[in-house]
């Protein structure tokens, strides 16, 4: 039940797939030198492995507790959080003007993977804070930025996102929390649910970002505004002052992430919580969209992270659990189960898909940096389009895989996997939230098809497909069976994705419901295809390095093997979603509601 950050794999994906050197060359990232990046990764790996990972099991078992309105976090959390603040870990990607280190999002995503793998229940407080910082940074006034960002970026205070209400989940247009103007501020009243780290004992203050409706505002999403509602109103000298009229009423009893307090928050029981408008009235939801890409990338990274954690545990178990003889050997003695073909198949499928996710996740993170800092505006816009297209894929595909891989991790353990003490089951329970929060995976598929493909008729996706074909072309002369098989996979993936994209782009115009019926299988196909492409690029790079004796041959050879396994075993069923995605619309509504 330990976690060791897979630094070699991370560095390879960072450098060879995501292009860390190109990112570091962007204006403003000059300080992200290779040495600095390496040092950050090394130190983060230590903190994740030695600090966070050992607290994960108790975080699950003991969890966060609400007592007399106070949430006590799991054992060890206040201490390790202090280490985060003292080490400056919260501040990595943020604006140096407010105390941030201004490091690339690519590096932040890599480090994020470590936190989330080591301890997802803890990692969530970092993730929510990141979202709140983003929102204030993009849309807050100069005074708001000055008052809140330094504290939040240092991690002395944390931020939360208060969106959901019982009747308003995926459909925020239905929200009812009210905000009434009262001098220089507003008075907020209403109840919010599913508020992650809505209350805790890690910091002296908590900065709630709350979506609420002003009186006489139009119905629907245009009536929603965004407010800063701090737990303690900051004094003029930046200390937590008067207690605000808000409280955590209860904690949800959840399947997983027990260490992360999921609060029911009540605002304004005593007349109204003081809230400060962010930006303009009526634009709350559009402000939320600004930070959505970063938040959804982070949740995707959580899917990758929990998969890596489950893989490490399953692999370690398979190497030590002795059971049954080796089929490939005449020896009758039982051997460790890693010698059995089906156990290997499970481990290889975990590993290959994890590498594919890591490649696509880091690639997308590098895109966020490129879109932010490329001097060529037109190139930056194109990169942003690409990021916008990839985000729903990263969020949904990674989190579906996170669940499947965590479940495979349980399976590798046999009967021990079902026993909570083993720890494999926790990863499955923790993973199960990922396809749900930050926009369900159904919402992601809808976003991919109904917005991202619809927006440009599939042009951005066709740009990626062209790059897939270019990779296949470059690989034509590469030697060996492995690269030939991998290349064939890329070609098949490009063909299927092109066909599917054309169909979707056409369908969203005239038969939206058909496109939506096929949206989830389309997303699955797209994710698997793009992951296969980046693994092929990895394998091609690895083969080049092998030829020039540049690096550890065992490590490089493994890249060829996992990419080939992926091409031959993982890709085909996903590409066979081409038929289903087109066909689903024919039958999904063929039954009346009462026939279901």
Site for a second copy in 145-164 (CB under 8 A): 164
Stretch that binds a second copy, among 168-176, 234-242, 266-274, 286-294 (CB under 8 A): 168-176
- Spell out a b/e string for 64-91, using b for 16 or more CB atoms within 10 Å of the CB, else e: bebeeeebbbbebbeebbeebeeeebbb
Residue 314 to residue 343: CA distance in whole angstroms:
10
Stretch that binds a second copy, among 105-113, 201-209, 440-448, 471-479 (CB under 8 A): 440-448
Question: What SS3 state is found at 408?
Answer: helix
- Which of positions 314-333 make contact with a second copy (CB under 8 A)? 315, 318-319, 322-324, 327-328, 332
For position 551 contacting a second copy by CB under 8 A, the verdict is no
- Which of positions 397-426 make contact with a second copy (CB under 8 A)? 403, 407, 410-411, 414-415, 417-421, 425
Q: Which residue has the tokens 């009210």?
A: 178
Yes or no: say if 353 and 361 are a contact pair by the CB < 8 Å rule: no
CB closer to a second copy out of 98 and 565:
565
- Which of positions 182-201 make contact with a second copy (CB under 8 A)? 193-194
Q: What is the DSSP letter of 221?
A: G
Q: Of the candidates 1, 62, 436, 478, which one interacts with a second copy according to CB under 8 A?
A: 436
Q: Which residue has the tokens 């060529």?
A: 376
- Which of positions 285-314 make contact with a second copy (CB under 8 A)? none
Q: Of the candidates 11, 502, 512, 551, which one interacts with a second copy according to CB under 8 A?
A: 512
Provide the terminal-to-terminal Cα distance of the chain, rounded to the nearest Å: 43
- Which of positions 95-124 make contact with a second copy (CB under 8 A)? none
Closest CA to 236 of 141, 355, 146, 129: 146
Closest CA to 428 of 413, 447, 450, 443: 413
For position 586 contacting a second copy by CB under 8 A, the verdict is yes
Q: Which residue has the tokens 């990595």?
A: 92
Yes or no: say if 302 and 116 are a contact pair by the CB < 8 Å rule: yes
Yes or no: say if 130 and 109 are a contact pair by the CB < 8 Å rule: no
Stretch that binds a second copy, among 90-98, 204-212, 281-289, 553-561 (CB under 8 A): 553-561
CB of 513: closest distance to a second copy in angstroms?
5
| Crossing angle of the two packed helices 284-320 and 377-412, in degrees rounded to 10 | 40
For position 466 contacting a second copy by CB under 8 A, the verdict is no
Yes or no: say if 107 and 92 are a contact pair by the CB < 8 Å rule: yes
CB closer to a second copy out of 51 and 223:
223
CB closer to a second copy out of 242 and 345:
345
To the query of whether residue 438 is one of the catalytic residues in this protein, the response is yes
Stretch that binds a second copy, among 114-122, 376-384, 536-544, 583-591 (CB under 8 A): 583-591
CB closer to a second copy out of 201 and 326:
326
For position 8 contacting a second copy by CB under 8 A, the verdict is no
CB of 465: closest distance to a second copy in angstroms?
20
CA angle 367, 124, 315 (to 5 degrees): 80
Q: Of the candidates 79, 218, 334, 480, which one interacts with a second copy according to CB under 8 A?
A: 334
Beta-ladder partners of 232: 243
Residue 222 to residue 218: CA distance in whole angstroms:
6
For position 513 contacting a second copy by CB under 8 A, the verdict is yes
Closest CA to 309 of 129, 155, 527, 123: 123
Q: Of the candidates 11, 440, 455, 502, which one interacts with a second copy according to CB under 8 A?
A: 440
Q: Of the candidates 521, 527, 531, 532, which one interacts with a second copy according to CB under 8 A?
A: 521
Residue 435 to residue 443: CA distance in whole angstroms:
10
Stretch that binds a second copy, among 50-58, 170-178, 280-288, 300-308 (CB under 8 A): 170-178
CB closer to a second copy out of 119 and 444:
444
Taking phi first (over 0 means left), then psi (-120 to 50 degrees means alpha), and beta for anything else, what does residue 478 get? beta
CB of 231: closest distance to a second copy in angstroms?
23
Catalytic-role residue among 16, 165, 355, 438: 438
For position 218 contacting a second copy by CB under 8 A, the verdict is no
- Phi, then psi, of 168 in degrees rounded to 5: -130, 90
Residue 131 to residue 129: CA distance in whole angstroms:
5
Site string for a second copy, 242-271 (x = CB under 8 A): ----------xxxxx---------------
Beta-ladder partners of 262: 196
CB of 549: closest distance to a second copy in angstroms?
18
For position 595 contacting a second copy by CB under 8 A, the verdict is yes
364 is written with which tokens? 């997308």
Active-site residues, by number, are 438
């Amino acid at each position: 039940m330990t976690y060791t950050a897979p630094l070699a794999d991370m560095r390879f994906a960072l450098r060879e797939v995501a292009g860390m050197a190109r990112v570091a060359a962007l204006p403003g990232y000059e300080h992200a030198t290779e040495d600095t990046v390496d040092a950050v990764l090394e130190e983060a790996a230590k903190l994740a492995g030695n600090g966070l990972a050992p607290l994960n099991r108790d975080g699950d078992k003991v969890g966060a507790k609400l007592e007399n309105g106070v949430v006590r976090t799991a054992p060890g959390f206040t201490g390790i959080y202090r280490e985060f603040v003292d080490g400056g870990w919260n501040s990595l990607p943020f604006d140096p003007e407010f105390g941030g280190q201004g490091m690339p999002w690519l590096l932040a995503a890599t480090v994020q993977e470590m936190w989330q793998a080591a301890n997802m229940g803890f990692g969530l407080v970092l993730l929510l804070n990141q979202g709140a910082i983003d929102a204030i940074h993009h849309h807050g006034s100069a005074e708001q930025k000055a008052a809140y960002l330094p504290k939040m970026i240092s991690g002395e205070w944390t931020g939360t996102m208060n969106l959901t209400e019982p009747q308003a989940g995926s459909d925020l247009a239905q929200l009812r929390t009210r905000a009434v103007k009262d001098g220089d501020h507003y008075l907020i009243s209403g109840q919010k649910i599913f508020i992650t780290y809505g209350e805790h004992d890690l910091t002296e203050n908590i900065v709630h970002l709350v979506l609420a409706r002003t009186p006489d505002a139009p119905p629907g999403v245009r009536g929603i505004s965004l407010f800063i509602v701090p737990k303690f109103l900051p004094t003029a000298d930046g200390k937590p002052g008067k207690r605000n009229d808000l409280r955590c009423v209860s904690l949800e009893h959840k399947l997983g992430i027990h260490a992360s307090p999921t609060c029911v928050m009540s605002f304004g029981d005593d007349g109204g919580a003081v809230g400060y408008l962010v930006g303009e009235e009526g634009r709350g939801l559009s402000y939320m969209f600004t930070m959505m890409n970063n938040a959804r990338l982070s949740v995707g990274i959580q899917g990758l992270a929990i998969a890596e954690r489950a893989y490490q545990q399953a692999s370690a178990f398979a190497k030590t659990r002795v059971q049954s003889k080796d089929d490939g050997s005449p020896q009758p003695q039982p051997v460790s189960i890693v010698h059995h073909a089906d156990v290997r198949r499970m481990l290889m499928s975990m590993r290959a898909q994890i590498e594919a996710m890591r490649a696509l996740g880091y690639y997308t993170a590098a895109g966020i940096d490129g879109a932010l800092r490329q001097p060529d505006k037109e190139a930056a816009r194109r990169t942003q389009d690409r990021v916008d297209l990839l985000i729903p894929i990263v969020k949904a595909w990674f989190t579906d895989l996170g669940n499947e891989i965590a479940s495979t991790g349980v399976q590798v353990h046999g009967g021990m996997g079902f026993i909570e003490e083993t720890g494999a089951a926790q990863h499955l329970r923790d993973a199960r939230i990922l396809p749900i929060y930050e926009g369900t995976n159904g919402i992601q598929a809808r976003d991919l098809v109904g917005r991202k493909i619809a927006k440009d008729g599939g042009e951005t996706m066709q740009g990626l497909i062209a790059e897939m074909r270019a990779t296949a072309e470059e690989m034509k002369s590469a030697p060996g069976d492995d690269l030939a098989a991998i290349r064939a996979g890329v070609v098949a993936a490009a063909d299927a994705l092109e066909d599917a994209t054309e169909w979707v782009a056409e369908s969203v115009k005239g038969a939206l419901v058909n496109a939506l019926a096929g949206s989830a299988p389309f997303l699955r196909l797209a994710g698997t295809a793009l992951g296969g492409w980046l693994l092929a690029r990895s394998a091609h790079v690895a083969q080049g390095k092998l030829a020039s004796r540049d690096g550890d041959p065992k490590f490089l050879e493994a890249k060829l093997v996992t990419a080939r396994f992926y091409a031959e075993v993982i890709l085909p069923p996903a590409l066979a979603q081409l038929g289903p995605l087109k066909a689903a619309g024919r039958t999904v509504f063929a039954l009346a509601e009462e026939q279901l």
